Amino acid sequence: MMFEKIFPKIHQEGYKFLVISSIITLILLFSTDLFGYIFILISIWVYYFFRDPERVVIDDEAYLVSPADGRISGIKEVNGPVELGLDSKKFTRVSIFMNIFDCHVNRSPTKGQIQDIFYKPGKFLNASLDKASEENERNYFNIIENKTNEPIVVVQIAGLVARRIVTQVEKKETLKQGQRLGMIRFGSRVDVYYTQRKTMVKVGQNVIAGESIIASF
């Protein structure tokens, strides 16, 4: 258990980056000490960035858990995403900003079935900006919750550095609470939209994917 906390497994997306950085590190160590040591630190960061630790999920449909590690950057009452045909419905939107040191594996906030997955190409603005929800590259998961039969929407939003949104699930797949949805490579943001619940977080608060409670009945 302690070993897994210190050396968690890494996401499959990270293996090629770790191999590349390790090879460069070995080459530089044989040619120049300084840059070799620098790339040792870079390789450690690559491993750390792509970590995919196990999480202790509450497994209770009365609660929504955080879909991402990071800091709550915004809480707003908004119309739902037009891309999913939900723009006539009011939602609470909680935005979670992930910096380059946060774990970037994203998880389902609730139990339910994926009604739709929609990818939208876009810009690569700073993900902490409010307009990133409408202008940046993003990927939508429309999850129909088991308990309420209402949509819970998770949106992966690429940021300044991010250039790859990875999806691990498929349309019509049945999800467990805290199940992995995918990841975003490098700094980015995740939005979660919901109705009928009381928000349990505040702006500036740090949250952990699959564990921190975002909202409850």
| Positions marked active-site | 188
CA 168-170-100 angle, 5° bins? 30
How far is 17 from 20, CA to CA, in rounded Å? 5
**How far is the C-alpha of 79 from the C-alpha of 68, rounded, in Å?**
22
Q: Which residues contact 49 (CB under 8 A, 6 or more apart)?
A: 14, 100, 101, 104, 186
Q: d(Cα 24, Cα 214) in Å, to the nearest integer?
A: 41
CA distance 24 to 136: 32
Compute the distance between CA of residue 135 and CA of residue 77 in angstroms, rounded to an integer: 19
Quote the CA–CA distance of 197 and 90 in Å, as a whole number: 12
